[in-house]
Amino acid sequence: MLNRAQAFEEIARLRAQACGELPAAVLLVRVQRMRDVELSFGYDVADALAAHLERTVAEALRPGDTCLRVGESDLLVLLPALRGRAHAALAATKIVRALQVPFPAGDGDVHPLVVVGIAMCPEDGESPEQLCRRADRACDEAQRSIERIAFWSAPAVPLEAIQTALRGAIAENQLQLHLQPLTCLADGRIACYEALSRWTHPELGAVPPALFVDVAERSGQIGDLTRWTLNVGLRHLAELRQVDPGIRVAINLSVEVLQLPGFVDQVFDLMRLWNVPGTALELEVTESALMRDMAQCEQLLATLRAGGVRISIDDFGTGYSSLAYLHRLPVDTLKIDRSFIRDMEGEERAQRLVGTMIDLAHDLGLSVVAEGVEQPAALARLAELGCDFAQGFLIGRPAPAEMIVAGARAASGVEPPHTA
């Protein structure tokens, strides 16, 4: 039996080993009224029942899943590489059904009463402690469910409250910046980091980026959020360039922000503030967003590009006018959407399609990034097809920018600047 700290360590270890951008889940399997079993049948029967339940749960899992006993009546199950919430619910249902079989105890039988609480990762949190705590709370909800299964759900928070909290988080620098590497397929070096904003609220926990970005757009804060990301991203880029002068950082940019009055000048101001050349900054704009206002976007992007800034089309292939307008856009890089990369495994047609995209980009003088690379076979095939860069969990997971900078300094022997 593991104590709480050991369980957290085991979850962290297994999470680190889990490769892929698929979600994972932590299940807390709780046997109710175990104390009644001890009083009615004795401690030996209760211990035998606990061991039986652990074996039964382990047998119901897939290879690669893990079952940990963390208490007299609790089992912790880690399910990596799921297809989604429905997949986690299916696994929980299988466990509940497997544990419905009566357990022989002397002249009678014990009928285990089991509930399962589920916390999804990273949707419901990423730290082992947070996931376990939320799976525990989901167990309480499962007791009131006919299925005896429940997912953790965030308490309902009014949109206005989230908007106010986000405004404070931006103003008080409570957001965090994570960096995810892009590697050069020709030589294996890290050529660029994509900057990703993260928000952990003291009460709400980890707020999904899709949620707070949507809130920022709805409440008119997307400009402030983007400026925060630019400022912090360029600051860390300046630190990384002390180690590797050729490194770049890529930052996502919405068309709405691009069109804000004075935004282009603010980009150049921040570059001067952190003494970063334009060639070290890459701004990513989604293909579909560009198509909505081609004329104005084309002019603004051209201004940025004239200042040395590299422009990238994100999620290429998911828009509706890719080929018709591609030659007009002042861009340097195409990022092939992860959906095409995911379909490459064992699919010759998908591989040919990706190869065609790469050839098209190269014919136009553009470099190519493959997003969502998870499998070594896909990485090798992309290299064969002439893809320039790759990004995905196989290459590296997003990590706090401070950790990335510290690791780069340690690897190169560069000392951090001393402060008075």
Q: Is the pLDDT of residue 192 over 80?
A: yes
For 394, residues 6+ apart whose C-beta sits below 8 A from its C-beta are 19, 373, 374, 375, 376, 378, 379
Say whether both 129 and 218 belong to one domain: no
- In angstroms, the CA 190 to CA 351 distance is 24
pLDDT band at residue 16 under the 50/70/90 scheme: low
Structure confidence at residue 105 (pLDDT): 82
Residue 420 included in any domain: no
Say whether both 189 and 125 belong to one domain: no
**Could you give the C-alpha distances from 332 to 313, 366, 368, in angstroms and in order?**
8, 5, 9
User: What is the tens place of the pLDDT at every residue in 218-233?
Assistant: 899 999 999 999 999 9
Exposed / middle / buried, residue 348 (Cβ in 10 Å: 0-12, 13-18, 19+): exposed
Say whether both 107 and 223 belong to one domain: no
User: What is the tens place of the pLDDT at every residue in 254-290?
Assistant: 888 988 899 999 999 999 999 999 999 999 987 766 7
Task: Show which of 135, 151, 167 is a domain's final residue.
Answer: 151
User: What is the tens place of the pLDDT at every residue in 90-100?
Assistant: 999 999 999 98
Provide φ and ψ at 274, rounded to 5°. Answer: -100, 10
Structure confidence at residue 216 (pLDDT): 92
Residue 419 included in any domain: no
Higher-pLDDT residue of 6, 389: 389
pLDDT band at residue 19 under the 50/70/90 scheme: very low
Say whether both 130 and 189 belong to one domain: no
> Helices then strands (H, E): number in the chain?
17, 17
Say whether both 182 and 208 belong to one domain: yes
Long-range contact set of residues 287-292: C-beta below 8 Å, sequence gap at least 24:
287/313, 287/314, 287/315, 287/316, 287/317, 287/318, 287/319, 287/322, 288/315, 288/318, 288/319, 288/320, 289/254, 289/255, 290/255, 290/319, 290/325, 290/329, 291/319, 291/320, 291/321, 291/325, 292/255
- In angstroms, the CA 370 to CA 381 distance is 11
Say whether both 335 and 376 belong to one domain: yes
CATH number at residue 302: 3.20.20.450
Residue 404 included in any domain: yes
For 146, residues 6+ apart whose C-beta sits below 8 A from its C-beta are none
Task: Show which of 116, 151, 186 is a domain's final residue.
Answer: 151
Structure confidence at residue 420 (pLDDT): 47
Say whether both 221 and 114 belong to one domain: no
Residue 71 included in any domain: yes
Say whether both 179 and 41 belong to one domain: no
Percent of the chain predicted with pLDDT > 70:
92
Strand partners, 192: 182, 248
DSSP, collapsed to helix, strand or coil, labels residue 182 as strand
Average pLDDT over residues 131-155: 87
**Could you give the C-alpha distances from 222 to 56, 170, 216, 400, in angstroms and in order?**
50, 10, 5, 21
Give the range of the structural domain holding residue 180, as residue numbers without chain letter.
159-412
CATH number at residue 12: 3.30.70.270
Say whether both 88 and 227 belong to one domain: no
Residue 418 included in any domain: no
Structure confidence at residue 318 (pLDDT): 59
DSSP, collapsed to helix, strand or coil, labels residue 154 as coil
Say whether both 236 and 121 belong to one domain: no
Domain count, the chain: 2
Residue 417 included in any domain: no
Say whether both 209 and 118 belong to one domain: no
Residue 176 included in any domain: yes
Q: Is the pLDDT of residue 203 over 80?
A: no
Say whether both 131 and 209 belong to one domain: no
Task: Show which of 100, 128, 151 is a domain's final residue.
Answer: 151
Residue ranges of alpha helices (H) inside 83-221 are 85-98, 128-142, 159-171, 209-218
What is the residue-averaged pLDDT of the chain? 88
pLDDT band at residue 415 under the 50/70/90 scheme: confident
Residue 394 included in any domain: yes
- In angstroms, the CA 238 to CA 408 distance is 13
